[in-house]
Amino acid sequence: MIYNIKSIDGKLQGQFEGTSAKDAAINAFNSWGSELKSKIEVTKEAPKPIRAAKCYTCDYCRNNIDKGDLYFRVNRTIGNPKNTIILPGTIVHNHYSYTAHVCTNCKRVYSRSTS
Ligand SMILES: [Zn+2]
């Protein structure tokens, strides 16, 4: 499931993947870190597609997203943020976040299979 998340102060906004709204919120917290200075708002509203300014590869089907095609940007987290281990002076992350490019076709399939 993909959620739209924005900070109440309006400074940060993004689309995050998660099995629940809480999960997506954890992804947002992890990816924004100290940049986040306010509470966040999570909405289930469908992300808006963006027109590609250059060629990308779809993160799900590995097909090309050609320049000018519509696609979605989604923040994905690999691993489990809940497994982050905090040791004195060190934080061991068992996950990482990145921005995925998703073609409109996969977005449709993905939304259907998880809703
Ligand atoms: Zn795809």
Question: Domain-by-domain residue ranges, the chain?
Answer: 2-114
**Residue 106 pLDDT more than 70?**
yes
In this prediction the pTM is: 0.58
- Dist. CA 102 → ligand 1 center (Å): 6
| Nearest-10 Cα torsion for 65, 114, 22, 42 | 60
**Given this model, what pLDDT does residue 105 score?**
87
- 37-96 pLDDT, tens per residue? 889 988 886 677 899 999 999 998 999 999 999 999 888 877 776 666 667 777 676 777
**Given this model, what pLDDT does residue 113 score?**
45
Over residues 7-24, mean pLDDT: 89
- Dist. CA 50 → ligand 1 center (Å): 14
- Dist. CA 105 → ligand 1 center (Å): 6
pLDDT band for position 114 (cuts 50, 70, 90): very low
Chain CA centroid to CA 4, Å: 9
- Dist. CA 101 → ligand 1 center (Å): 8
